[in-house]
Structure 1
Amino acid sequence: MQIFFRTVVVAAFLLLTGCDTGPQASPTVLEGKTMGTFWRVSLVDVNAQQAKALEQKIQAQLDSDDQLLSTWKNDSALMRFNHATSTAPWPVSEAMADIVTESLRVGEKTGGAMDITVGPLVNLWGFGPDKQPEKTPDQAQIDAAKARTGLAHLAVINRAGGQFLQKDLPTLFVDLSTVGEGYAADHLARLMEQQGISRYLVSVGGALVSRGLNASGKPWRVAIQKPTDRENAVQAVVDINGHGISTSGSYRNYFELDGKRISHVIDPRSGRPIQHKLVSVTVIAPTALEADAWDTGLMVLGSEKAKEVAQREGLAVYMITKEGEGFSTWMSPQFSAFLVNEKN
């Protein structure tokens, strides 16, 4: 499963430790790879033996999540559904049903800008399992791929006997890459709670969840990176305690084709990579899954329409837009409540 590079870094114990007064304590940090990206878990009050056992449980859980959601593994649960040409209800896990339900909800709220059936277009433009195109896809190719997409062709069915997905297009291709990181981060948070751990910060790619206080007794803090190639250039700092956060950015995962920069962010309505000036969207929500779904849809919409949706839905959103040689920022009132004064 390919998860596109995001633009959030964990900064509570890296960039911001100098902002706290008094002696500094270090958390226990576990790291690994999953879903084409990296995971990281920072813990407090965990000994070495507990950490080693937990690391194995984390990796096993994430491997299971990847086997559920991957579009890069033909035997994943999602790809078995994609390969099936049947339009009858297809049995899926409760987790899969929940992920698709949330994705459909946000897709409707964004007017189809967030569309998990966009897989044929993602593949056409070279950001899926298919190789990058040698030339820009023509309109006929785009139209053919678009004909295989559309949220209206996918439904979640809940019955007493279980949950099902149903498609009315035999060739419909569902791609959950845009929400996979968020789901996995939430799943890691649940694992921490099950293990009796109440002070943690977990991240999968650009989706994060935190609870409790860090090793210094301060709130876990997250830094949103500036849209530059400098890894530690901080744009803003937030305290997300008890929430999920996710960022979508258009400026790092791209390639050059026919002399043009091709962004990985595909507008499912036009069938083409986005062209507007919005370069980064960060969303804070009750869950990382919800934040991960919203940041994609808002990224596709562009600055002005994204603002309208954020205000209408009462979302905590932070946006960075290219303006001439520099950048401008905008945040919703809900987001400002999470903002940290770095002098504190």
Structure 2
Amino acid sequence: MGTSWSVIYAADESGQVGDLGPVSPQDLQLLIERELEAINQSLSTYIPDSEISIVNALRTEAPVQLSQRFAEVLDAALLVGQLTEGAYDVTVGPLIELWGFGATLRAASPPEAVEISAAMDLVGSDRLSWDSNSAILSRPPGVRIDLSSIAKGYAVDQLTEVLTERGITNSLVEIGGELRASGQRPEGGPWRLAVESPDPAQARFIEALSISNAAVATSGDYRNYFEYQGRRYSHLVDPRSGYPVAHDLVSVTVIDPLCIKADALATALLVLGLEKAMQLAEEAGLAAHFVARGNEALEVHYTTAFDTYRQSAQAAHTP
């Protein structure tokens, strides 16, 4: 996935973590690495013979049977796309590549309008024929699926399951900044996390959280971008317009029981922009945190559901 992973878990001095007896860190690492390799082999577009790469390379619209893993992630991604009315779309890959944020090298200038129009002809989840019950997919040749904006969250959930199956109920799983906290931290009490500030010159963290049995995912536009003739182009491309987002929303953090959902929603809400994202998040009861560029400084907004975690965090730091 082009990033790092870490796992923290609670155990006694003998390595006892539950009812299954001692589990060594070496055994756990082997299990984790095997699971990550299996996920990559299914969902990575950077591996030529991965399941998703093979599906994307098909030159026919004939239906194909997807694995349970691929089907589960695709189904979750399509549901987020429906919730956000197309602001999140798993077929956005051609636009990402065109703007230079994929595997190809970025051009010296933004693409021409005619190039964007041509790429848009290959974008749109409505071009997919998907039966979630049978896990059968068909799509026109050239239409590609990219699950990179949800795969890390899925992997976090899967690693949490690997730990749970070994009797580990107190853990913190992290992949590239996406996290899922289970039970309590080794010292006791909820896991204490923080939301990174988009402007490290002001502060390293912009929010403190106290979490148990929930996942946290953040999406931001402040790291991956390029500038051309005084204009900034974000790596977040709106699949509805074909152009990078150009609003003042800088980062979105979502808390949800599942990291797969939090991961996709953080990206989707960031594409929507502050006003629409806040409205959708409140209506859907999402725990979402927003950082936007103000006239003089960064501004913080959050939904009613998210406020619960902020209050818990404040209480946790009270002597």
Q: TM-score, normalised by structure 2?
A: 0.92
2:102 equivalent to 1:131:
no
2:2 equivalent to 1:36:
yes
Matches within 5 A, 1:150-169: 150-159=124-133, 162-167=134-139, 169=140
State the 1:94 CA deviation.
1.2
Percent identity of equivalent pairs:
36
Equivalent of 1:171 in 142, 147, 156: 142
Q: Secondary structure, in 3 states, of the residue corresponding to 1:272?
A: coil
Q: Secondary structure, in 3 states, of the residue corresponding to 2:88?
A: coil
How many Å separate the matches in 2 of 1:281 and 1:179? Answer: 15
How many Å separate the matches in 1 of 2:178 and 2:129? Answer: 26
Instruction: Report Cα offsets for 1:103-159 as digits up to 9, x if no partner.
Output: 111111111001110000000011111111122101000000011010101233245
2:195 aligned residue: 224
How many Å separate the matches in 1 of 2:202 and 2:52? Answer: 33
**Contact 2:217-2:255 at 8 Å conserved across structures:** yes
1:111 aligned residue: 85
1:25 aligned residue: none
Where in structure 1 are there 5+ consecutive unaligned residues?
1-34
Where in structure 2 are there 5+ consecutive unaligned residues?
16-21
1:83 aligned residue: 57
Structure possessing the higher relative contact order (Cα contacts under 8 Å, 6 or more residues apart): 1
Q: Secondary structure, in 3 states, of the residue corresponding to 1:266?
A: coil
Stretches of 4+ moved more than 4 A in 1? Answer: none
Structure 1 residues 175 and 255, CA gap change in structure 2 (3 angstroms): same
1:28 aligned residue: none
Instruction: Report Cα offsets for 1:220-251 as digits up to 9, x if no partner.
Output: 12100111246971111122311111100000
1:287 aligned residue: 258
2:18 aligned residue: none
Structure 1 residues 95 and 230, CA gap change in structure 2 (3 angstroms): farther
1:302 aligned residue: 273
1:121 aligned residue: 95
Q: Which moved more, 1:95-104 or 1:149-158?
A: 149-158
The root-mean-square deviation of aligned C-alpha atoms, in Å, is 1.7
The one-letter code of the counterpart of 2:182 is R
Structure 1 residues 236 and 174, CA gap change in structure 2 (3 angstroms): same
Structure 1 residues 250 and 43, CA gap change in structure 2 (3 angstroms): same
How many Å separate the matches in 2 of 1:40 and 1:231? Answer: 27
1:265 aligned residue: 236
2:304 equivalent to 1:338:
no
Equivalent residue pairs, number: 307
Matches within 5 A, 1:142-221: 142-159=116-133, 162-167=134-139, 169-221=140-192
Q: TM-score, normalised by structure 1?
A: 0.86
How many Å separate the matches in 1 of 2:158 and 2:287? Answer: 22
2:11 equivalent to 1:45:
yes
The one-letter code of the counterpart of 2:161 is R
How many Å separate the matches in 2 of 1:128 and 1:122? Answer: 6
The one-letter code of the counterpart of 2:317 is K
2:282 equivalent to 1:316:
no
* Structure with a larger share of its residues in strand: 1
How many Å separate the matches in 2 of 1:222 and 1:155? Answer: 40
Q: Which moved more, 1:46-55 or 1:187-196?
A: 46-55
Instruction: Report Cα offsets for 1:299-339 as digits up to 9, x if no partner.
Output: 00100010111111111100000002311111111011112
State the 1:204 CA deviation.
0.9
The one-letter code of the counterpart of 2:5 is W
